[in-house]
């Protein structure tokens, strides 16, 4: 018991002194470190992203953009507002949380509007937590495609062509 307390105290002193972080110079975010970047999301909370490979906070919006976090993989709860009756309304509701827009008119695929005007399927009315991209796929059906333009923060739908 005493040995455990001494080890914990020694680790705590190193962490509190900052020696664990100053042992090496901060490394820039590189392709090999991108996979270890995480973002904490929350409404009304101080959000901060860290590069866990170098244990340095990412301070600017430019740093966060450079880490290329795919916001469509963020998990959301599938609870729709009462006035959301169509796939388009439900999709816009979900995409607004991450700053993406749903595009159903030109230059979107020609069948995007038809897919978006469908009623919300019963499977999507079950309350669950899942990634945004999976929610969108569930809304349009698994036989169709979700088209994502990360550079312009646009999302659209298209039917799978049968050849």
How much is the mean pLDDT over the chain?
A: 72
CB 100 within 8 A of CB 114: no
Please tell me the predicted confidence (pLDDT) of residue 63. 55
Q: Residue 163: pLDDT above 90?
A: no
Percentage with pLDDT > 90 across the chain: 47
| Residue 115 to residue 104: CA distance in whole angstroms | 9
Note the pLDDT tens digit of each residue in 22-43.
444 444 443 333 333 334 444 4
Other CB atoms within a 10 A radius of the CB of residue 51 amount to: 22
User: pTM here?
Assistant: 0.58
The answer on pLDDT for 79 being more than 80 is: yes
**How confident is the model over 48-66, as a mean pLDDT?**
51
Q: Residue 62's Cα: distance from chain center in Å?
A: 17
| Residues forming a β-bridge with 149 | 154
For the cut 50, the answer to whether the pLDDT of residue 151 exceeds it is: yes
């Amino acid at each position: 018991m005493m040995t455990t307390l001494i080890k914990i105290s020694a680790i705590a002193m190193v962490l509190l002194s900052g020696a664990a972080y100053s042992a090496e110079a901060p490394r820039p975010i590189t392709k090999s470190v991108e996979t270890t970047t995480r973002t904490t999301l929350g409404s009304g909370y101080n959000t901060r992203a860290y590069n866990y490979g170098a244990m340095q906070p990412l301070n600017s919006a430019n740093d966060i953009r450079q880490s290329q976090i795919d916001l469509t993989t963020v998990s959301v709860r599938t609870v729709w507002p009462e006035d959301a009756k169509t796939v388009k309304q439900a999709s816009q509701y979900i995409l607004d949380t991450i700053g993406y827009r749903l595009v159903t008119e030109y230059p979107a695929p020609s069948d995007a509007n038809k897919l978006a005007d469908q009623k919300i399927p019963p499977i999507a009315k079950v309350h669950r937590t899942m990634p945004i991209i999976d929610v969108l796929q569930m809304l349009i059906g698994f036989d169709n495609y979700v088209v994502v333009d990360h550079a312009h923060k646009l999302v659209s739908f298209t039917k799978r062509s049968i050849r």
